[in-house]
Amino acid sequence: MGIFEGLEGFKLTFGKLFDERVTGDYKGGRFDDEKREKPLRMHGRHVLNRYEDGMEKCIGCELCAGVCPANCIYVRGADNPIDDPVSPGERYGFVYEINYLRCIHCDLCVEACPTQAITESKMFEFSFTNRQDAIYTKEELVVGDDGQPKHLPWEDWRPGEDENTSAWMRATSPSGAAEYIGKVAWSGELGYGIRAPEAGQTADLAEAHGDAEDMAGGNH
């Protein structure tokens, strides 16, 4: 490259300094209130749910870890203490870790879970300052006593991002089977009860809500 070609390149770069900006500050800038609405089926940070009575849904079966294509989930189950059980089953998730440096948010773990213990919120904005923060432990993943996901210092939660967790799983007609239209097939969650079916299903949502209310209380 000759000196004149190099100067032409600098001229182009320097000229761009005066063009209108198309980006803004990550947070607090002029684009902060103009973020696009997140899709209902978006896959974000995981949460480990509890039943409405406070017991954990995870039974430590390790199916989520087995199906994970990124090898980012580590689970170790343990027998439930007889005098103070953690979950309704014989076992519970004694250790549960997700490495978000590997996670691709495919939601296969959610699909594999037999108890709907793990779901994904819509929160996806992380800002880790060290690698250890990116490895979430069970203490960070399990919802609090109010059923709300724990908000960690490096997370940017927005209103409503905890409401439609893994919405694609809440279909009232699995595989298009007509006999399941309008029938809620998932259990309630601490702080939320039985979540409503995903909007846009062919079933009448009012009827589905009625089914959900009928199921509330005795469903684990």
- Using CA atoms, how far residue 187 sits from 3, 15, 149, 176, in Å, is 70, 59, 18, 21
For residue 161, being part of any structural domain is answered with: yes
Neighbours of 136 (CB within 10 A): 21
106 and 177 housed in the same domain: no
User: Band of the pLDDT at 97, cuts 50, 70, 90?
Assistant: very high
139 and 209 housed in the same domain: no
More confident: 217 or 35 = 35
150 and 185 housed in the same domain: no
Domain that holds residue 203: 170-220
Q: Which of 166, 190, 205 is the last residue of a domain?
A: 166
pLDDT of residue 45: 95
Give the CATH number for residue 158. Answer: 3.30.70.3270
Q: Which of 138, 166, 194 is the last residue of a domain?
A: 166
207 and 144 housed in the same domain: no
DSSP for residue 97: E
For residue 146, being part of any structural domain is answered with: yes
For residue 125, being part of any structural domain is answered with: yes
pLDDT of residue 23: 67
pLDDT of residue 203: 44
Query: Concatenated DSSP letters for 35-92?
Result: PPPPPTT---SEEE-B-TTS-B------HHHHH-TT--EEEEEEEPPSSS-SSSSSEE
For residue 215, being part of any structural domain is answered with: yes
141 and 84 housed in the same domain: yes
187 and 80 housed in the same domain: no
Burial class of residue 5 (count of CB atoms within 10 Å of its CB; 0-12, 13-18, 19+): exposed
Cα separation of 22 and 157, whole Å? 24
86 and 191 housed in the same domain: no
For residue 152, being part of any structural domain is answered with: yes
Q: Which residue has the tokens 């770069």?
A: 13
160 and 58 housed in the same domain: yes
161 and 52 housed in the same domain: yes
pLDDT of residue 153: 92
200 and 98 housed in the same domain: no
Number of domains in the chain: 2
More confident: 108 or 14 = 108
158 and 188 housed in the same domain: no
pLDDT of residue 5: 66
For residue 132, being part of any structural domain is answered with: yes
Mean pLDDT of 132-146: 95
Cut 0.85: pTM above it = no
78 and 158 housed in the same domain: yes
Name residues whose C-beta falls within 8 Å of residue 93's C-beta, 6 or more positions apart in sequence.
Answer: 48, 56, 58, 59, 60, 75, 76, 77, 87, 117, 138
Mean pLDDT of 93-119: 95
Q: Which of 120, 138, 166 is the last residue of a domain?
A: 166
More confident: 179 or 26 = 179
pLDDT at 204 over 70: no
Neighbours of 91 (CB within 10 A): 17
pLDDT at 176 over 80: no
